Amino acid sequence: MSRSPSQRPTPLSDATTARHLGDLARSHATWSVYLETRPQGRAVGGRLFFRSADAIRETAWIFLEWHERDILNRFNEFSPTELWNLMDSLA
């Protein structure tokens, strides 16, 4: 997954606190990947958003950890192929 610091992605209207984590690119398709986190009791929940020029796909709240950094660590365990598969499953 690549990150381009010179390109500032537009925030998501449905998740204004979501953080841009990078981009997935394959052939002519490019998707920006965002992570939204929020407190859920004493833990923190997280979900992913995938945004292209034409569409937005989002997961359910698939992460639940004690701290936001733990969610980021779990996200970083995903390979680009796994992120593509997850995004494709949301179609």
Rg of the chain over Cα atoms, rounded to whole angstroms, equals 13
**Mean pLDDT for the chain?**
87
The predicted-structure confidence for 22-77, as pLDDT tens digits, reads as follows 999 999 999 999 999 999 999 999 999 999 999 999 999 999 999 999 999 999 99
Cα separation of 17 and 10, whole Å? 12
* Sequence-separated (6 or more) residues with CB below 8 Å from residue 83: 1, 24, 33
Q: What is the pTM of this model?
A: 0.82
Which helix (H) or strand (E) segment holds residue 73: the answer is helix 68-75
